[in-house]
Amino acid sequence: MLAPTSTVLSGLHPRTIGNTLRVANLTAVNLLKVKIQSLTPPFYLLTFCGLPIFSLILTALIYRENETLRNYAVVAGAGTSFLFIMLFSGGENLEGERQRGTLASLFIAPSSRLSWLLGFQLSAAYEAIFVAIVTVSLGVAIFGTPVSINPISLVVTILLMVVCLWGLGMVLSAIGTAVRAANQLSNMLFSILTPLSGSLFPISEAPAWLRIPARCLPFGYGINALVGAITKDASVVALKGDLLPLLGFAIGLPVLGAVSFRLLDRYARQQGHLDML
């Protein structure tokens, strides 16, 4: 007796953690290769390093007479790289798949959604970490920002931020893909999130009407924790005021992201126009 197709397929492509991670890593590396090759390495470096560096220079010039804020701006610039790259890469990658006509194939591929979604965000995380290192290094070299790194706090903060941004990125990817406007949605949301994220100034210094909604988002906590971990050698305990809320977001947002993507999957199958531009 022949085994059901689903059993055969599941036998060939077991959705184990190992396979999921393998597919995720392959996806991430492949995405990076495609991006670098399509832009060519010089343009790739110019785009992904140039943007945050010039933004950092602009912010540092505004704070030219305030050393504390200037040092904050250097690390916040690195945090903003995480925010921008990771939050919007999922939607951008899905839009790119749609434009190439491969989006539907991606959805019906036997590998789990999680694997390639994770791959998208992994590629973004690799990019974001690289850009953050370049930004902070240049900030130290140009503006003399003092650096005193607590490696454990730094790793914990980055991990929590990556998980938060992965979850939120999936929500935005789902919405952007459904409305076929991932790029425009990204650009609009980035304008809204910039003053709420702590990328221009510490949220604690913002007026109350801005501070309250900013505290409902993970970014301000993440960037503040990054500043403490990189410039003040702050321990995990010392940063608990930022890391605990960030942990809460890191638990809730991936769940929300998974639900959003499941809804997108159902919507796409019902409507049948996933590949339509």
Partner 1 sequence: MSVSAISPAFATPGARIRTNLRATFATARAYLFRFASNPIQLIRAPLSPILIVGGFILAYNISGQTTVPDDQVIGFLIVGVFMTGCWSSTVWGAGFALQAERYYGTIGAVISAPASTLAVITGYTLGSLAIGIVDAVATVIVGLAVGGRFIIHDLLALILSVVAIYVSTICIGLAFAGLFILSRNANSLSNVLQTPVYILCGFYVPRTVLPDWAQWIGAGIPLTHAADALRGASLTGDSLGEIARPLLLTFGTALVFLVVGIWALGKADRSARSSGTLDLL
Q: Which residues bind partner 1 (CB under 8 A)?
A: 39-40, 43, 46-47, 50-51, 54-55, 57-59, 61-66, 69, 179, 181, 184-185, 187-188, 191-192, 194-195, 200-201, 205-207, 210
Q: How far is the CB of 201 from partner 1 (least distance, A)?
A: 5
The CB-of-181 to partner 1 minimum distance in angstroms stands at 5
Closest approach of Cβ 255 to partner 1, in Å?
26
158 versus 200: smaller Cβ distance to partner 1: 200
Distance CA(201)–CA(205), nearest Å, equals 7
Relative orientation angle of helices 67-100 and 113-143, to the nearest 10 degrees: 150
Q: How far is the CB of 12 from partner 1 (least distance, A)?
A: 35
| Angle in degrees, 0-180, between the axes of helices 41-62 and 113-143, rounded to the nearest 10 | 50
In the numeric block, the tokens 């339509």 are attached to 276
* H helix or E strand, kind and range, residue 250: helix 240-271
CB of 215 to partner 1, least distance (A): 16
Residue 71 tokens read as: 């040092």
- CB atoms under 10 Å from CB of 14, counted, come to 10
The one-letter code for the residue type at 115 is S
User: Would you say 11 or 65 has its CB closer to partner 1?
Assistant: 65
Q: Residue 185 Cβ, how far from partner 1 at the closest point, in Å?
A: 6
* Nearest approach, Cβ of residue 41 and partner 1 (Å): 12
Q: How far is CA 128 from CA 32, 37, 125, 211, in A?
A: 12, 18, 5, 26
| Nearer of residues 44 and 267 to partner 1, judged by Cβ | 44
CB-based burial of residue 151 (10 Å sphere; 0-12 exposed, 13-18 middle, 19+ buried)?
exposed
Burial of 245 (0-12, 13-18, 19+ CB in 10 A): buried
Specify the DSSP element, H or E, that contains 79: helix 67-100
Half-sphere exposure at residue 247, Cβ-oriented, CA atoms within 13 angstroms: 8
**Whose Cβ is closer to partner 1: residue 47's or residue 235's?**
47
Our CB check for partner 1 shows the closer of 83 and 118 to be 83
Q: Given the complex with partner 1, which of 109 and 175 has the nearer CB atom?
A: 175
Q: Is the CB of 50 or the CB of 241 nearer to partner 1? A: 50
